């Protein structure tokens, strides 16, 4: 049960992290 709660809490952070990663890649490729 605890693991499910942790996964539920971290799911939005993981999605946010992926979004930020895409933005960072776009910015770094734009800088070149």
Residues whose CB falls within 8 Å of the CB of residue 6, separated by 6 or more in sequence, listed in order: none
Q: What is the pLDDT of residues 3-32, one digit of tens each?
A: 888 888 888 888 898 999 999 999 998 876
pLDDT of residue 9: 86
DSSP string, 1-32: -HHHHHHHHHHHHHHHHHHHHHHHHHHHHHH-
> What pLDDT sits at residue 21?
93
Q: What are phi and psi of 12, to 5 degrees?
A: -65, -35
Res 18: pLDDT:
92
The model's pTM: 0.47
State the pLDDT at residue 14.
87
pLDDT, position 30: 83
Q: What is the pLDDT of residue 19?
A: 92
Report the half-sphere exposure of 19 (CA within 13 A, side-chain side): 6
């Amino acid at each position: 049960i605890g693991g499910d709660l942790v996964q539920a809490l971290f799911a939005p952070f993981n999605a946010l992290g992926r979004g930020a990663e895409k933005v960072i890649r776009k910015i770094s490729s734009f800088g070149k």
